[in-house]
């Protein structure tokens, strides 16, 4: 199981802020395969996580990319570009 | 160059306002080696891109926020000889003219204090996971990231 | 670019200490257009060039001091879009860890606030007629001007 | 008459912080001629205002140089390089 978090406009577009996800069931091994699995769920997910959209991904609270490996126990977060300060 | 271990670091994410005098006192207590303190306060501007902002809601990623800010401060401490750094960022609902963020940097010398304070703000803007949602007369919307904030990082690559 | 006429300027030479919160409040009262306030505090360092400084006496040239500081702030207001600037410099006897100088610069944008605050400090250091006399365990002596302060001005010619 | 001011280490070296000076009596028309007149007074003045010493001069509260003209009513100040901030 991994934990997936969504923030800000992504959280609103998807209607979810946190979920548990079973990597093994979906053969998820990295960020790219996780995104593929998530995008297959619905039009909303497909749209929100499209490669052309300007989202960011973090694995275990560090900025990651589509090649970053994912293993059970990891925390993966998707969010728009940050706007603090 | 001092390392992060020798720099007194205080990072706080808070729903309540900060007190600049109180933060300065905490930083200065018991020491007479500080020559310069540069501070930055970011505020909610009422006018933003033509719309009138009545309030703003700040969301963040608990855990990653603190980790990111600590990393930014650690990097700054590697670049400049710093004595103490405080970063306080508010979250939740804020009104026009409210404080958003406070950065305090103490050093023996003013140039290090100025440079490190601006460095921390520049990277906070682009790397720390905060998101602003503004309420204006045109409704509620998420603030877009600004290209100028990413461009501001360029100068730190030249050193 | 705003001119000095549109920038709220407060210059003060004082024997007593300043209150940062009070100065911030004065600057902010009644306005919601400020996006960034950069501040600088200069302090008396106990250790200076190997000697232990127990106290310091600051002398200045009344009249020329205020005129010079006003000119520096006016120049900064020509270079960056500033909303308000406060400069308070203490004179008389100061002890280790005491405040010496406070500069506050408010702007809609952080880069202008940072740059103008550092600009004001850089020119205050080289142009404003203040002189420091330190008391150390080796006696009383006038502080020498530092070449690094003159060198710091170079950057402002490049813009 | 002009007013002459001395500050910091110059004030201490000369033992005077302010004086009135009659330009006409000494044919003083600029900073250079004022310095010449002052240096002729004593070894202390000659030494403190020597061209090799690192003093500054202000006329009417603005930084000046040896060519700056001086007229009756002016305020002239001599001081070492500044060290505030």
- Find how far residue C79's CA is from the centre of its chain: 17
Using a CB-CB distance cutoff of 8 angstroms, which residues of chain C are in contact with residue D8?
Answer: 59, 131, 133, 142
- φ and ψ at residue B117, rounded to 5 degrees: -65, -45
Distance CA B12, CA B102 (A): 10
pLDDT tens string D54-83:
999 999 999 999 999 999 999 999 999 999
Q: How far apart (Å, rounded) are the C-alpha atoms in residues C125 and D29? A: 31
**Are residues C84 and C7 in contact, defined by beta-carbon separation less than 8 angstroms?**
yes
Residue in C closest to B38 by C-alpha? C40
Which residues in chain B are contacts of C38 at CB distance < 8 A? Answer: 38-40, 117
Residues of chain C found within 8 Å of residue B19, distances taken between Cβ atoms:
21
- Decide if B64 and A85 are in contact by the 8 Å CB cutoff: no
Residues A36-46 pLDDT 10s: 999 999 999 99
Distances (CA, A) of D43 to C42, D18, D34, D47: 38, 19, 16, 6
Q: What is the pTM of this model?
A: 0.95
Q: Is D80 on the interface with C (CB under 8 A)?
A: yes
User: What ipTM is given for this predicted complex?
Assistant: 0.95
List, for residues B71-125, the tens digit of each pLDDT value: 999 999 999 999 999 999 999 999 999 999 999 999 999 999 999 999 999 999 9
Contact B142 A80 (CB under 8 A): yes
Along the 159 residues of chain C, how does pLDDT read in single tens digits?
555 556 899 999 999 999 999 999 999 999 999 999 999 999 999 986 677 888 999 999 999 999 999 999 999 999 999 999 999 999 999 999 999 999 999 999 999 999 999 999 999 999 999 999 999 888 999 999 988 898 899 999 865
């Amino acid at each position: 199981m991994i934990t997936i978090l969504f923030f800000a406009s992504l959280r609103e577009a998807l209607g979810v802020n946190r979920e548990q996800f079973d990597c093994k069931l979906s053969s998820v091994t990295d960020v790219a395969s996780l995104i593929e699995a998530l995008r297959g769920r619905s039009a909303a997910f497909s749209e929100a996580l499209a490669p052309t959209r300007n989202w960011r991904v973090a694995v275990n609270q560090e900025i990651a990319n589509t090649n970053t490996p994912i293993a059970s126990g990891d925390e993966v977060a998707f969010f728009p570009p940050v706007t603090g300060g | 160059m001092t390392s992060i271990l020798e720099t007194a670091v205080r990072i706080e994410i808070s729903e309540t306002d900060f007190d600049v005098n109180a933060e300065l006192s905490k930083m200065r207590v018991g020491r007479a080696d500080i020559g310069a303190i540069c501070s930055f306060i970011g505020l909610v501007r009422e006018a933003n891109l033509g719309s009138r902002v009545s309030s703003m809601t700040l969301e963040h990623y608990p855990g990653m926020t603190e980790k990111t800010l600590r990393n930014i401060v650690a990097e700054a401490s590697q670049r400049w000889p710093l004595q103490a750094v405080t970063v306080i960022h508010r979250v939740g609902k804020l009104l026009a003219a409210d404080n958003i963020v406070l950065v305090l940097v103490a050093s023996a010398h003013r140039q290090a204090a100025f440079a490190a304070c601006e460095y921390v703000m520049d990277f906070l803007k682009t790397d720390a996971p905060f998101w602003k949602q503004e309420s204006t007369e045109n409704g509620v919307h998420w603030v877009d990231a600004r290209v100028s904030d990413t461009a501001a990082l360029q100068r730190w690559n030249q050193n």
